Structure 1
Amino acid sequence: MSSRDRWLETGLAVLADEGIKAVTIERLCDDIGLSKGSFYHHFGGAGGYHTALLAYFEERETARYVAAAEAVPAGDARARLDHLKALVAGSDDSAALERAVRAWAAQDGVAREALERIDARRIGYLQQLLVEITGRRAEAADLARIVYLVLLGSYHVLPPVPLKDVERLWTRILATT
């Protein structure tokens, strides 16, 4: 793993565990064992790091799932959706990070803009698959939002909802398609 990726992976771990206020240059240097010079070389400062961290979050928590679903043979949107459900259900480490990014976005405009883009991308991809499956754009838009909100809601209720249960709920919701 490159030193840049180490900075970003460590930042996401600290963010998930303790929130954005804990993601400081000093903390990251201590956790990684690299110098502030390395940090500034890669990111230029805290603002550059935060921007890179949000982009890394988007890649790790959105783009890689879309790419994996798209690797399923073309023309089979149902199989791509099923693969996406299985991938999400198998990623138990996402809930804390998702909550932390949303808390950050509630108090920071740059994080909010990034999260709005990420949410739109996720919902848009679900909608695209559901349009291919149902052929009905309005219904697909509603179903995409419902499916996404079930996932996000599962991250916030106590006790936490196991992702396998979320996958089962999705299957039940989507059985109408």
Structure 2
Amino acid sequence: MEKTSGWRGTREIWINAAYEALLESGIDAVKVMPLADRLGLSRTSFYGHFSDRDDLLNALITLWQAKNTGNLIKRTEDYAETIAEAILNIFDLWLLPDLFDSRLEFAVRNWAHTDRELARMLDEADIVRVEAFQAMFERFGYETQYANIRANTVYQTQIGYISMKKDGPFEPLEPRLKRMPLYAEIFSGRKPTEAEIARFLARHPLP
């Protein structure tokens, strides 16, 4: 956007700058003056869009909730003919940052170590996400106890990868794609069909 005289920016560019600072350097880097310097704007611009720093931090949390938890729940409800295909649908989350932002997830989990209220929200998000996975398994006929264990296995495996920076944007695409049909079989106990695998891979072409 062209900067004209008196231009004060937008709420969105402040949130984007805060997002980048959070991912690059953690929550301590999300402060008004460093962000103002980064954007070439003034504190007056910031306070034209936010009441205070906490207001900006809440906007980041809302972004995380909508993108990661909201999209995850939607993905568990997408149409699939089999449980294996449903799990391959879930794997789209781990491959497409527009659906699930692994870097943001990592940053929020680190942030939660120093913010008790965010830690509480993170615990709630974990519960809601596992419940969504469990409901997906139950939809395909799994008994409640087995559905819960499988749901936790799927979720904790991925969060473990993210926490170790071994998945998402942290690892090349090709080896991950090769493993995912095997993971789908292990998580569900059902082998994906060749057609299901082909549809999945078509959504994620190698560069």
Name the TM tier (shorter chain). 0.7 to 0.9
Aligned length in residues: 174
Assess, with a 3 A threshold, how the Cα gap between structure 1 residues 68 and 129 changes in structure 2: closer, same or farther.
closer
Task: Please list, as runs of the form range in 1=range in 2, the aligned pairs for 1:1-177 lying within 5 A after superposition.
Answer: 3-68=10-75, 70=77, 72-73=78-79, 76=81, 78=83, 79-91=85-97, 94-157=101-164, 160-161=166-167, 162=171, 164=176, 167-168=180-181, 170-176=183-189
Runs of 4+ in 1 over 4 A off after TM superposition: none
Assess, with a 3 A threshold, how the Cα gap between structure 1 residues 133 and 32 changes in structure 2: closer, same or farther.
farther
Q: Name the CA distance, whole Å, in 2 between partners of 1:121 and 1:35.
A: 39
The offset of 1:94, in angstroms, is: 3.4
Q: Name the CA distance, whole Å, in 2 between partners of 1:11 and 1:45.
A: 13
- Bigger drift between 99-108 and 75-84 goes to 75-84
Q: Name the CA distance, whole Å, in 1 between partners of 2:143 and 2:23.
A: 38
Assess, with a 3 A threshold, how the Cα gap between structure 1 residues 169 and 20 changes in structure 2: closer, same or farther.
farther
What per-residue deviation string (whole Å, max 9, x for no partner) do you get for residues 107-133 of structure 1? 111221221222222212111111112
Q: Name the CA distance, whole Å, in 1 between partners of 2:67 and 2:54.
A: 20
Q: Name the CA distance, whole Å, in 1 between partners of 2:148 and 2:116.
A: 26
Q: Name the CA distance, whole Å, in 2 between partners of 1:58 and 1:30.
A: 28
The offset of 1:38, in angstroms, is: 3.5
The offset of 1:8, in angstroms, is: 2.1
Q: Name the CA distance, whole Å, in 1 between partners of 2:182 and 2:50.
A: 41
Bigger Rg, structure 1 or 2:
2
The offset of 1:49, in angstroms, is: 1.7
The offset of 1:68, in angstroms, is: 4.9
More helix by share: 1
Whether contact under 8 Å (2:73, 2:132) holds in the other structure is: yes
Please report the TM-score for the alignment, with normalisation by the length of structure 1. Answer: 0.80
3-state SS in 2 of match to 1:107: coil
3-state SS in 2 of match to 1:155: helix
Q: Name the CA distance, whole Å, in 2 between partners of 1:25 and 1:77.
A: 49
Q: Name the CA distance, whole Å, in 2 between partners of 1:51 and 1:146.
A: 30
Gaps of 5+ in 2: 2-8, 191-207
The offset of 1:144, in angstroms, is: 1.0
Gaps of 5+ in 1: none
